[in-house]
Amino acid sequence: MGENFLVELEYAKRAILISPFTYRVVFKNKVRVFIIQRFPYSLYYIINGSNIDVISVSNTNQNPKKWKEKLG
């Protein structure tokens, strides 16, 4: 199961790098989310110039405000 999760994270990374503006903006007009299909997780990120900054990989069954705390 862990190996499959890592495969899905790698897929998410590649998809975001190929087309970072494709995924929905969910917070403060800058935080975007990629939904991981095979697992109940979401990857939150910010486009920072030519960089992609991952804020959180969060379980969708937990409190959705947890990842926002990482923004300060």
Give dist(CA 36, CA 49) in Å, integer. Answer: 24
What 3-state DSSP class applies to 61?
Answer: coil
Which sign, positive or negative, has the C-alpha torsion 57, 58, 64, 67? negative
State the pLDDT at residue 2: 87
Mark residue 13 as left, alpha or beta (left: phi above 0; alpha: psi -120 to 50; beta: remaining): alpha
State the pLDDT at residue 6: 93
State the pLDDT at residue 43: 95
Which token pair is 46? Answer: 């910010």
- Say how many domains are in the chain: 1
Structural domain including 22 reads 2-71
Count of C-beta atoms within a 10 Å radius of residue 24: 9
Instruction: Name the pTM for this structure.
Output: 0.87
State the pLDDT at residue 62: 82
State the pLDDT at residue 69: 73
Averages of pLDDT over each 10 residues, the chain, 72 residues = 89 95 93 94 94 92 74 65
